[in-house]
Chains A and B, each alone.
Chain A
């Protein structure tokens, strides 16, 4: 056998070994289920496909949790992991799911809204596959997903995405972005079916207020804020002022642009009676001018490049040596959701939503996000949901 062929065979073997190893790692990430322990407030569950039948049997289907109070009242919907690379949303939603007790009204939670995106990775961006949150009983492991649904679940992409129903041209990749496919349709591409399912929940269940929880770069002007359309703006402003005065953190209000279609904070308000709020907390991990994309950076938000840019006043949030830790982001989301529900309940007492046993900002920062999660191995198996 010639030397050239020897080299070729060695390279092929190495390639096969590397590809197999990588394939196994990527396969495991896609099929890794996060156990979620339904807390004392959970009264029933459904699937998103119950509201959008086309999702049945697909990776885009996801669990919907209902926390119904003893007393009639209003209804609130929390959607997290719309973008699965903004994990503070999922962590905050799980705090509600595992701890909240609803006294009045109903709380509906979809912790992994873009379930397909949560089982995707982001080629070219060098993310870790998982991250872990320390708890009193060990660490809780999560997939780090992508902003967009997996092409394994929705493919091919069009050359340009034409938004339904406004016909606005959007980037081709946005056809898999569940914050561009609102209000969706029953027979559209899979991600339009996902947002359609959520719209159906809001319409059929008469949801009063809806939260779509996100994270945004520190260099992005629309960060650390509540994005609200005209009809939600007053309530968002009241909540923003209250958390600033009572809890000491900033969370300003940004208007939802009427000319930019497909976003939850625009379309939910335009296509239902629900008041939408999109919450953004800073996530330095998503900024471009940063050091390596490590799990540690995802969680502590510390980066020396961003620190230097902050000193040059190029960031849109205050940023110092403490970075922007996950607990701070999760705590902000918990407080803002609770505050908006409180403001709504004050304005419409007959449609009040009263929720207890959910920590606010200071408690999450002090105790750590993980201290609010329950050990699935010790929980009643009927209460453990894999998603």
Chain B
């Protein structure tokens, strides 16, 4: 037997699939997907947490796949562990950013900022709302992570919005929507960057296609949800109700840690070839150290860190399990089937279904969704004459909405946590529906009319 005859004989055949029979592949992968859904449902029925249920789904999918060697059973543990590390960096950013804000909050910084904002802008409502919008937009725009916006500036803006007379249920909705938009805002939009990296399209010309809709939609959200003052109180009464701040507190004590953080972020942009890359987690830790040093009262850094991680644990676990789920879905072909189903959809139906597909894919896979669905979608749209840059910008308005959807609901859960929303998660989500629909329509229209909006790219360059 020569080499050409021997080729492929040693490779394990996938038992249930015969070449060319798509239906058999559908059946095999469909069964695995069904097993995953059943495992998730049973786990939830047994009242296990979302994270444990997702883990059960991943494990069951892997075991079901192992019957047809996708993946081989000996590789299952490796796939689970490898998948768990998919979003390690995101977890580090979440942890360090939250510890940073916890220190600021602990020494009274948040209370001080809110008091100052209300004192100055209480009677200039529109201006106050727009300023708060920019405060939420900036951290996410600089880092590409809406969660950073929620974690860094969420607490003070939430309090300021409440004192402006906006009800608690709408405050969480504002924070979620605007923080989501901040992730899509330029200069750093991680979905667009991942799509550009995967489609070999340069990440240039995105400034206006992203900034214009983000600012318009952000303004709409702030005014729609925040315009109506539910309860009018006298400024003096509000100031009296606010928590006391430590006597030694001053603006510079709060500003300095933020200057340190944003200074580090900006410095890397200004002198990219002279400074070492230290990464967002260390930048947050340096800022935390600065906050600790200028604190007007004694704070216990270790206790704050321990409590913060304890609070974040469900979220961190979700991110770990999403990575596992993603890995198992790819190794078994479930991920490919989803991607295949999306890009096989007729064009008009595809545009309509983007409203569902994009946010839900984000809810399940977070950033992984951009690769699985976004990359083949952009290649396809590009090949039939749509403008790739504008289409990417349009899609990236829809992805942050998915950060409010289970099972991950990263920004949504953080918004609920930071705003201390008392009702159910669903009651929070219900308040976002009008901005949600407006953003969805805007994003889809940008994709559909991408060629006509090409001037935005030209004007950016």
Contact = CB atoms under 8 A, between A and B. Distances in A.
A312 interface: yes
B350 interface: no
Given A126-B71, A139-B10, A305 B336 contact: yes
Interface string B55-92: 00000000001000111000101111111011001000
B376 A156 contact: no
B382 A221 contact: yes
A167 B340 CA distance: 37
B81 A18 contact: yes
A381 interface: no
A249 interface: no
Contacts, number: 241
Contact of A168 (B79, B89, B204, B339): B204
Interface stretch (A20-28, A63-71, A92-100): A20-28
B333 interface: yes
Nearest to B272: A162
A160 B187 CA distance: 9
A173 B380 CA distance: 24
A171 B200 contact: no
B70 A294 contact: yes
Nearest to A167: B272
B167 interface: no
Interface stretch (A34-42, A127-135, A233-241): A127-135
B295 to A, nearest CB: 26
A387 interface: no
A367 B81 contact: no
Given A156-B277, A169-B187, A293-B331, A321 B20 contact: yes
A171 B197 CA distance: 6
Contacts of B269: 160, 162
Contacts of A261: 202
B343 A309 contact: yes
A321 B281 CA distance: 49
Interface string B322-361: 0100111111110111011011100000000000000000
B371 A175 contact: no
Contact of A308 (B14, B22, B268, B323): B22
B193 A368 contact: no
B14 A292 contact: yes
A169 B203 contact: yes
A172 interface: yes
Q: Interface residues of A: mostly helix, strand, loop or mixed? A: loop
Contacts of B201: 260
A288 B382 contact: no
Interface stretch (B1-9, B98-106, B236-244, B301-309): B1-9
A123 B272 contact: no
A306 B278 CA distance: 42
B25 A21 contact: no
A307 B20 contact: yes
B70 A292 contact: yes
Interface stretch (A53-61, A105-113, A295-303, A330-338): A295-303
A189 interface: yes
B81 A173 contact: no
A128 B75 CA distance: 8
Nearest to B28: A291
B63 to A, nearest CB: 13
Contacts of A126: 71, 79, 83, 327-332, 335
B383 interface: yes
Contact of B280 (A125, A135, A159, A165): A159
A129 B78 contact: yes
Given A160-B187, A314-B343, A368-B3, A168 B372 contact: no
B25 A123 contact: no
Interface in B140-176: 142-144
B11 A295 contact: yes
Given A126-B331, A160-B187, A296-B14, 7 more contacts: A156-B89, A289-B337, A291-B337, A292-B332, A293-B331, A368-B3, A371-B4
Interface of A: 17-19, 21-23, 25-26, 121, 123-126, 128-129, 132, 134-136, 139, 155-160, 162, 164-165, 167-175, 177, 180, 185, 188-189, 217, 219-222, 257, 259-261, 287-296, 299-300, 302, 304-305, 307-309, 312, 314, 316, 321, 327, 366-368, 370-371
16 contacts: A18-B81, A22-B78, A126-B71, A171-B197, A180-B197, A219-B376, A288-B335, A288-B373, A289-B343, A290-B336, A292-B65, A294-B69, A304-B22, A305-B337, A327-B7, A367-B2
